Structure 1
Amino acid sequence: MCGPYAKHAVPWWWAMRYTLPQYFSPSKPHIDRAKKFFNRAEYTLGSPRRVFFPESQREEGPKALPEIVVMGQPNVGKSSIVRSMVHEDVKVIVATYKGTTKLAHFYKIGFRFFLVDIPGYEEDDKVMGNTIMREVLQRRPMVKSVLFLVDCRGGLTDLEQYRIQHLEQYHVPYTFVVTKCDRASEWQLTRTVRQINKIVDSPWHVRCHREVFLTSAKEQIGIDELMVYMCARAGAMSVKKTEIEKEQSLTIPID
């Protein structure tokens, strides 16, 4: 737990959220409700191709559930973020070396939506991870949002900005999630936040959501807010405008 409901000391980098274009600060009842959804998470399957996705997710239809996709470069912390959200009995493969995730892994969250953990993308478009990324993202309206993970120590790379353009071309909404904040210096985090702010405020990035999340899967900070946000984007719960601090309001169901 984090924010005003934390039981442990808040680290220095948590205050950096005030420099974001918009940060998300849900109430404790919303956090508790989101945790109930994630406590009922189930691992469904891992698939390299759309034809092997869960049957309800292969084509748009009344049985298709919304999806939230976790996307990023290898070893950026995608599986660690998923691991920090779900029950320890749920299958999540986490390792310190890159390339651990080789399939699109589907997790059903409270029978309301799917959380999809895809392999890290690379420069070579022919590698399997990039093929799976396209299978998941292209022409699939059930994808309600992509969590675009960025390692705060390295900042936004040219490859990441290239993939952001792909999301714009695919007409897929995306949200920046900054990972491993506990391992970064103040200079590294400041640089990464400035790079992200520039994209969020750009009129050319129309699919980019204004909310930005600073997280540490190791310290379990920023995860509660992210879980509430995912539930809201997937339509599993709604959040009042008063829950959103700063000027803009979320484009999600409002009570």
Structure 2
Amino acid sequence: MFKHIEFVKSIYDLKDLPPPKFPEIAFLGRSNVGKSSLINAILNRKNVARVSSTPGFTKAINFFRIDYQFYLVDLPGYGFAKAPAELQKKWKYLVEGYLTAPRDFRLLILIFDIRRTPDKLDINLVEFVKYIKKPFCIVLNKIDILSKNEIDKQVKNYKEALRLNPDFPMFLVSCKEKENIEPLRKFILSKIKSH
């Protein structure tokens, strides 16, 4: 389990990115997908990432240093309809700029709400990550809300819509019930130690 978790800084401008001294694990997802809850569940802490009742709360790129081994990076949520166009443009500039910067990306964790059907924004995100050739995995969150049959159906939908191989790494989790958090944590650690 992680012992030392330190908030490093919030980035509102790419020129303020911390030096890439550590490997990086970055979390991306829609504004209301449970990204902060997932980060807190993986770190086994209550409030490292701020959980907000207002979707789209994270407007900066937040860096946390974990056990002096890697950066955990919380990216601003996308797809929040009420965000003004200017803010959406800024999100694109920040996130795309960060993801294409010369940094030691070990894993991008793309989080989706399993109850939703992937839309154009979700598909574009996956296509972009494939295009920049960064290692990534998919996390389908909120499985506690669906039945086994509904989960199986949605997994199939996601694999087809996002054009993923049948054996592509996909984690089905419930932050609320802490279900399948440990396999994801182990997967993250294996990526940190794989170099």
Tell me the TM-score range normalised by the shorter chain: 0.7 to 0.9
C-alpha displacement of 1:97: 2.7
- The answer to whether residue 12 in structure 2 is matched with residue 48 in structure 1 is yes
C-alpha displacement of 1:187: 4.8
Q: Is contact 1:79-1:94 (8 Å) kept? A: yes
Which residue of the partner structure matches residue 116 of structure 1?
A: 73
Q: Is contact 1:68-1:143 (8 Å) kept? A: yes
Amino acid at match of 1:221: E
Larger gyration radius, structure 1 or structure 2: 1
- The answer to whether residue 43 in structure 2 is matched with residue 86 in structure 1 is yes
TM-score calculated relative to the size of structure 1: 0.67
- The answer to whether residue 23 in structure 2 is matched with residue 66 in structure 1 is yes
Which residue of the partner structure matches residue 179 of structure 1?
A: 141
Tell me how far apart the structure 2 counterparts of residues 166 and 88 of structure 1 sit (CA, whole Å): 31
Tell me how far apart the structure 2 counterparts of residues 188 and 102 of structure 1 sit (CA, whole Å): 33
Which residue of the partner structure matches residue 185 of structure 2?
A: 227
Q: Is contact 1:139-1:170 (8 Å) kept? A: no
Which moves more between the two structures, 223-232 or 180-189?
180-189
TM-score calculated relative to the size of structure 2: 0.86
The secondary structure found in structure 2 opposite 1:39 is coil
Of residues 167, 171, 175 in structure 2, which corresponds to 1:217?
175
**RMSD value over aligned CA atoms?**
2.3
Tell me how far apart the structure 2 counterparts of residues 117 and 80 of structure 1 sit (CA, whole Å): 11
Q: Is contact 1:72-1:148 (8 Å) kept? A: yes
Which residue of the partner structure matches residue 145 of structure 1?
A: 107
Structure 1 unaligned regions, length at least 5 = 1-34, 58-63, 203-208, 236-251
Q: Is contact 2:65-2:72 (8 Å) kept? A: yes
Tell me how far apart the structure 1 counterparts of residues 53 and 5 of structure 2 sit (CA, whole Å): 24
Tell me how far apart the structure 2 counterparts of residues 134 and 219 of structure 1 sit (CA, whole Å): 32
Tell me how far apart the structure 2 counterparts of residues 165 and 105 of structure 1 sit (CA, whole Å): 24
Tell me how far apart the structure 1 counterparts of residues 16 and 63 of structure 2 sit (CA, whole Å): 11
Q: Is contact 1:121-1:133 (8 Å) kept? A: no
Q: Is contact 1:155-1:188 (8 Å) kept? A: no
Using CA pairs under 8 Å that are at least 6 residues apart, name the structure with larger relative contact order, 1 or 2.
Answer: 1
Q: Is contact 1:151-1:180 (8 Å) kept? A: yes
- Residues 73 and 86 (structure 1 numbering): CA distance in 2 closer, same or farther, change over 3 Å? same
Q: Is contact 2:27-2:111 (8 Å) kept? A: yes
C-alpha displacement of 1:228: 1.2
Tell me how far apart the structure 2 counterparts of residues 82 and 74 of structure 1 sit (CA, whole Å): 14
The secondary structure found in structure 2 opposite 1:234 is helix
Tell me how far apart the structure 2 counterparts of residues 224 and 217 of structure 1 sit (CA, whole Å): 11
Tell me how far apart the structure 1 counterparts of residues 48 and 139 of structure 2 sit (CA, whole Å): 22
Number of equivalent positions: 188
Q: Percent identity?
A: 23
Structure 2 unaligned regions, length at least 5 = none
The secondary structure found in structure 1 opposite 2:168 is strand
Q: Is contact 2:40-2:46 (8 Å) kept? A: no
